[in-house]
Amino acid sequence: MRALGFVGTPCQVQGLRKLQALGRLLGRRLVERVELVVGLFCMGNWSYPCMAGFLEARGVAPEEVARMRISGDRVRVSARGMELEFPLGEMRKYVKMACRMCLDFTSELADISAGSTGSPEGWTTLIVRTPRGEEVLHGAEEAGLLELMEVGEAGVEELQRVARAKFERSLRRIQSRVEQGDEVPHHATRDLGSLEEALSRTEGRGFRELWRDIVVSGLCDACGACSAACSELEMRNGMPRLRGRCPQDCSLCYAACTRTALPLRALEEQLELGELRREHLGRYRRILAARATRGGGQDGGAVTALLKFSLNSGVVDEVVLTCRDEELKPRVLTAKREEELEGCAGTVYAASSPLPELRHRVRLST
Ligand SMILES: Cc1cc2nc3c(=O)[nH]c(=O)nc-3n(C[C@H](O)[C@H](O)[C@H](O)COP(=O)(O)OP(=O)(O)OC[C@H]3O[C@@H](n4cnc5c(N)ncnc54)[C@H](O)[C@@H]3O)c2cc1C
Ligand code: SF4
Ligand code: SF4
Ligand code: SF4
């Protein structure tokens, strides 16, 4: 079976980890042999039409954009050879509803997490969480692909401050929803001790209930875990859709969704996370800054360098990741060569649904 790597936002990483745990629990092959999970830091995301509409309203066609970057409270766009800058506040109001209730900034369930917060410009902050994360970081440095630097206590505190701000903002929104009588299950189930306990709350609910409870209620983050769990589903415009009819009365899609139940502590227990823990940063082994010695990237290009090492050294045979198409739309791609990884460097500020592709790769390789 081919070994896979994966890069994604915190919600996508949660979806992947829940699918892995669910597969183990049910004795089914869902997404096993994912050997490396790189999680990104994430403050929020947009649907493609919102992101494209934001740019068009400011006279920039998405296909003209060479690079887009959110830094502090500014959106920086390189287009037509010019550098344009807009206040992030103007874009923030279009952030997906699910992102406003998301509690994870640093991809707490990844092998290694990456973002710009905490490091100087041109560097990537890395949170190394598992032995696999350590192995790949060490290997990339040894191979001369990465330069490393301490971020120091000030960098870690900055990271924690930003993560806490996201958590508290989302928590306020969740609490006000709960006060209005709406459920927010991914928050209510965070501290449950086992996946079984979490799943007992989802029994007897199928796609019809998933659509009503998660999609219509605005909790869906478009990760695609439901669609990865059931071949009767597909992701269309960032939403799960039934291709035909539900062939059986089952609740696998409801069980797979991270928004119907997310026993974070139980999922953590299934990983070999480091013993260090800081509130809102999760468990880890070390935090440092990294920069690729060659090739570009959104920040330090460290994610692409780590993936290159993993591919070239045989840790993984292919990597499922998100890149942009000519119109700046997110496109899920399976990279098997270094050049494909390089073509996917950079951030696409629009939600993708990569988990069905990951599942597809697992099916192909078995
Ligand atoms: C929607 C979004 C919001 C983010 N918000 C923050 C933030 O608030 N603060 C912060 O510090 N960092 C944030 N990041 C992470 C940051 O933009 C960089 O991805 C990170 O610093 C790694 O930089 P790099 O140069 O090492 O990565 P690179 O070497 O450039 O690699 C980037 C990787 O990200 C993947 N990718 C790009 N777009 C997406 C996407 N939409 N979904 C899934 N994967 C994608 C690519 O496939 C590529 O493998 C965000 C990322 C995304 C996708
Ligand atoms: S739900 Fe939104 S904010 Fe949370 S990880 Fe996913 S894209 Fe980022
Ligand atoms: S058949 Fe598929 S879509 Fe229908 S309830 Fe089961 S998992 Fe969900
Ligand atoms: S409904 Fe499907 S796509 Fe939406 S959050 Fe749940 S698993 Fe992810």
CA distance 195 to 23: 11
Q: Given pLDDT bands bounded at 50, 70 and 90, which one contains residue 273? A: very high
Residues lining ligand 4, CB < 6 A? Answer: 15, 210, 214-215, 220-226, 240, 256-257, 259
Q: What is the mean pLDDT of residues 33-42?
A: 96
Residue 73's CB is within 10 A of a number of other CB atoms, namely 9
* Confidence at residue 366, expressed as pLDDT on a 0 to 100 scale: 57
**At residue 40, what is the residue type?**
L
Mean pLDDT of the chain: 94
Contacts of 13 (CB under 8 A, 6+ apart): 6, 37, 39, 107, 109, 110
Q: Which has the higher per-residue pLDDT, 360 or 118?
A: 118
Residues 294, 307: Cα–Cα separation, whole Å: 13
Looking at residue 363, its pLDDT comes to 76
- 286 beta partners: 128
To test ligand 3's pocket by mutation, which of 252, 254, 355 has the most ligand atoms within 8 angstroms of CB?
252
Least confident of 17-26, 88-97, 186-195, 295-304: 88-97
The preferred substitution site among 96, 167, 219 for testing ligand 2, maximizing ligand atoms within 8 Å of CB, is 96
343: three-class secondary structure by DSSP: helix
Asked whether the beta carbons of 358 and 16 are under 8 A apart, the reply is yes
Q: 10 Å Cβ neighbour count for 59? A: 10
Name the residue with tokens 């806490």.
Answer: 164
C-alpha dist (Å) from residue 292 to 62, 124, 346, 348: 27, 9, 13, 19
Reported confidence tier of residue 282, pLDDT bands at 50, 70, 90:
very high
Give, using CA atoms, the residue closest to atom 5 of ligand 3. 206
The model's pTM is 0.97
- Pairwise CA distance, residues 170 & 346, whole Å: 26
Rounded Cα distance, 147 and 260, in Å = 41
Question: Is 8 buried (19+), middle (13-18) or exposed (0-12) by CB count in 10 A?
Answer: buried
Percent of the residues in the chain that have a pLDDT greater than 70, as a whole number: 99
Fold for domain 46-94? Nuclear Transport Factor 2; Chain: A, (3.10.450)
Q: Answer for the pair 291, 147: CB distance below 8 angstroms, yes or no.
A: yes
Q: Report the alpha-carbon angle 37-14-25, nearest 5.
A: 95
Report pLDDT digits (tens) over 182-216: 999 999 999 999 999 999 988 889 999 999 999 99
Distance CA 78, CA 99 (A): 26
pLDDT digits (tens, 9 = 90+) for 100-155: 999 999 999 999 999 999 999 999 999 999 999 999 999 999 999 999 999 999 99
**In the chain, where the domains are located:** 4-41+101-183+265-364, 46-94
